[in-house]
A and B are shown apart, each in its own frame.
Chain A
Amino acid sequence: MKLKEIEKILGAEIITGAELREKNIEMACGSDLMSDVLSFMKSESLLLTGLTNLQVVRTAEMSDLAAVCFVRGKKPDREIIEMAESKNIPLMTTPLPMFESCGRLYQEGLSGCSEYKR
């Protein structure tokens, strides 16, 4: 699924990395616990999270994540956006809460990290 399709399904706004709209997202995961993200998320996946701190971008960087989407309309600070920009990690924000964001994407056929087979 392309990033621009996710943008549409979630009614999301791309905060940074709009030029990467064509990027392919293979799977997704929703978590506020960065240790869990580091532990079981696979590379090239989308992280949905309610956290908006620098550690989210750092975690995305370390795990080679494809993009990060903040749920419930949260927006990160300038500093966080700048770091994501420098690491080429697209950030977006959706007004939907976590459960609904995950549900809609899953319904549209995006896999979870545990069931995805390369």
Chain B
Amino acid sequence: MPSDSRISKVQELIYEIRVGEVMKTDPVTVTPQMPMSQLREILREKRISGTPVVKGDTLAGIISIEDFIKWLADREPDCPISEKMSKDVQTLYADEPLTQAVNKFEQYGFGRFPVIDRESQKLRGIITKGAIVEGLLRKLEIDHIEEEQVYRRRIKHFFEDILADRVSLFFRYEVAGQDFKRAGEGASRLKSSLRRLGLDPQIIRRVAIATYEAEMNLIIYTKGGRIRVRVEPQEIVVRVEDSGPGIPDVEKAMQPGYSTAPEWVRELGFGAGMGLTNIRKCASRMGLHSAVGKGTTLNIHIVVENGVTRGTEGIDSAA
């Protein structure tokens, strides 16, 4: 999402969110009779820089660390907090939008405002700039997660939403021969797409590995070809086709360790004659047909036991 739309989202939120939603409830309070000398311990222990002074249920004033320092500096004798607190307290109502709070922080430059109930005038909590930032971040995060969940749910139920006797999704990827830079791009794009469909991560992994090996074969041995994928609720079929040169001895090619790969391919970590063996390991069923001079077709079938739409919830977030 572009950054300017994020800003307008924050602007929207400060009108939408109420002070009561982000304030700290059950704030630390002191009584008007408490001696100033005790204040230090409370501020230090609770790691706060100011606190409302409350008489019974009602707000009597507010005392801050600045008031305390002033009292210390003046070397005055100990006295009740009520003598040093600010009595003319600026407050906010719990049902006011956050924008009111933001304005007040700007206008007065205070570190905190007590939040009171509009009807009972009782103290409900305290709001700081930190609480506002935290509240906004929490809300932004929740919105973002919800958006993502809606998106995932929509795509996950794709198959269920379509009414037909048979539903298939087709993907096609073109692969250029000898293009090692882009090797694996097809498999990578396929993997991302299957993830979005919410398939089981282990099924996706098997499809991705088999497709990647097949894609490497196209790049190493042929002038290029195409990968066609058919996704159905019960089965994924990957068909890899090229137009030559073809495999003279299919049976031999299927043997683990048998390879005709040139040295430069081995240097890249492939060409050890394990590709087709790996593909067979990942597949539920595999078919290889080849004619020298014409081309090769490889069909990889992967059966989805639980059905595509019932894939596990735990899709990892890594792209």
Binds A, one of B73-81, B225-233, B241-249, B272-280: B272-280
Judged by a CB distance under 8 angstroms, whether B144 is at the interface is no
**B205–A53 CB distance below 8 A:** no
Considering only CB atoms and an 8 Å cut-off, how many residues of chain B contact the other chain?
26
- B169-200: which residues lie under 8 A (CB-CB) from chain A? 180-181, 183-184, 187-188, 191
B14 partner residues in chain A, CB cutoff 8 A:
none
B183 pairs with A54, CB closer than 8 A: yes
Which of A1-9, A29-37, A92-100, A103-111 interfaces with chain B? A29-37
Complex contact A58–B319 (CB within 8 A): no
Q: Per-residue 0/1 for A73-91: is the Cβ within 8 Å of any B Cβ (1 yes, 0 no)? A: 0000000000000111100
Count of A interface residues, CB-CB < 8 Å: 25
Q: Is A16 located at the chain interface by the 8 A CB criterion?
A: no
Assess the A58–B278 pair: CB atoms within 8 A. no
Report chain B residues within 8 Å CB of A35: 213, 269-270, 272, 274-275, 278
Decide: A87 and B274 in contact? CB cutoff 8 A. no
Is A55 touching B319 in the complex (CB atoms < 8 A)? no
Residues 208-240 of B contacting A (Cβ, < 8 Å): 208-209, 212-213, 216
CB atoms of B278 and A39 under 8 A apart:
yes
Is residue B318 contacting chain A, with contact meaning CB distance below 8 A?
Answer: yes
**Complex CA distance for A51 and B270, rounded to whole angstroms:** 11
Q: Is the interface of A mostly helix, strand, loop or mixed?
A: helix
* Interface residue B268 (Cβ < 8 Å from any Cβ of A): yes
Q: Shortest CB–CB separation between residue B164 and chain A, in angstroms?
A: 32
Q: How far is the CA of A64 from the CA of B183 in the complex (A)?
A: 17
Q: Is A13 an interface residue (CB 8 A)?
A: no
Q: In the complex, how many angstroms separate the beta carbon of B112 from the nearest chain A beta carbon?
A: 33
Given contacts A61-B191, A62-B184, A86-B319, contact A38 B212 (CB under 8 A): yes
- Contacting residues of chain A (13-31) with chain B, CB-CB under 8 angstroms: none
CB distance from B70 to the nearest CB of A (A): 45
Q: Which of A34, A54, A62 contacts B208 (CB 8 A)?
A: A62
CA distance A106 to B184 in the complex (A): 31
Residues of B contacting A63 in the complex (Cβ-Cβ under 8 angstroms) = 205, 209
Q: How far is the CA of A34 from the CA of B213 in the complex (A)?
A: 10
Q: Are B209 and A87 in contact (CB under 8 A)?
A: no
On chain A, the residues within 8 Å of B9 by CB distance are none
Chain B residues at the A interface, C-beta cutoff of 8 Å: 180-181, 183-184, 187-188, 191, 201, 205, 208-209, 212-213, 216, 268-270, 272, 274-275, 277-278, 281, 316, 318-319
Interface residues of A (CB under 8 A from B): 32-39, 43, 49, 51, 53-56, 58-59, 61-64, 86-89
30 residue pairs from A and B, CB less than 8 Å apart: A33-B272, A34-B268, A34-B269, A34-B270, A35-B278, A38-B278, A39-B274, A49-B269, A51-B268, A51-B269, A54-B180, A55-B180, A55-B184, A55-B268, A55-B269, A55-B270, A58-B187, A59-B184, A59-B212, A62-B188, A62-B205, A62-B209, A63-B205, A63-B209, A64-B205, A64-B316, A86-B319, A87-B318, A88-B319, A89-B318
